[in-house]
Structure 1
Amino acid sequence: MKKFNFTILIEKDEDGLYIASVPALRGCHTQAKTVEELLPRIKEAIELYLEVNNSEVTTNEFIGVQQIEVSI
């Protein structure tokens, strides 16, 4: 059995829902009302993704997260 470590990004949307995504796995994301609900859901989403698409796993090195302001 292979073990993987993935970086997940967690954001809060305008409705107050938490959204988790996995940058290394295109299209792998989920949402929940709390972070406590979110973490098991994203783990399940990752496991399901890997079952179906295990050949598409990429290994990205996490560097950091920054916010940038733009005006339009």
Structure 2
Amino acid sequence: MTINTSKREFYVIIERDEDGYYIGEVPYLKACYSQGETIDELMANMKEVIELCLEAESEENIPEFVGIQKVVI
């Protein structure tokens, strides 16, 4: 059994819905989103769902994160 000790960073986009729940999404991982009543709960849920998404995706299918840009209109 091989244990992967390397750490990876993922950015989570956080929004609040009309019911007050926090919704998080990792846009460059397919179907990688969760929710929580607090940001702490959301982030704990996101760690779990990111691990599940990584198990489901092969390493080659995960695109490299480049950045987020703000556009003012």
TM-score tier, shorter chain, comes to 0.7 to 0.9
Corresponding position of 1:11: 15
What 5-or-longer segments of structure 2 have no aligned partner?
none
Alpha-carbon shift at residue 63 of structure 1 (Å): 2.4
Are the aligned partners of 2:30 and 2:53 in contact in 1 as well (CA < 8 Å)?
Answer: no
Counterpart CA distance in 1 for 2:72 and 2:13 is 13
C-alpha spacing 1:67/1:6, structure 2 compared with 1 (3 Å) = farther
Corresponding position of 1:50: 54
> Displaced runs of 4+ in structure 1, greater than 3 A?
64-68
Corresponding position of 1:22: 26
What 5-or-longer segments of structure 1 have no aligned partner?
none
What TM-score results when the alignment is normalised by the length of structure 2?
0.79
Counterpart CA distance in 2 for 1:8 and 1:16 is 18
Are the aligned partners of 1:17 and 1:34 in contact in 2 as well (CA < 8 Å)?
Answer: yes
Counterpart CA distance in 2 for 1:15 and 1:52 is 30
The alignment-based identity, stated in percent, is 40
What TM-score results when the alignment is normalised by the length of structure 1?
0.80
SS of the equivalent of 1:10 reads strand
Q: Pick the aligned partner of 2:69 from 51, 64, 67.
A: 64
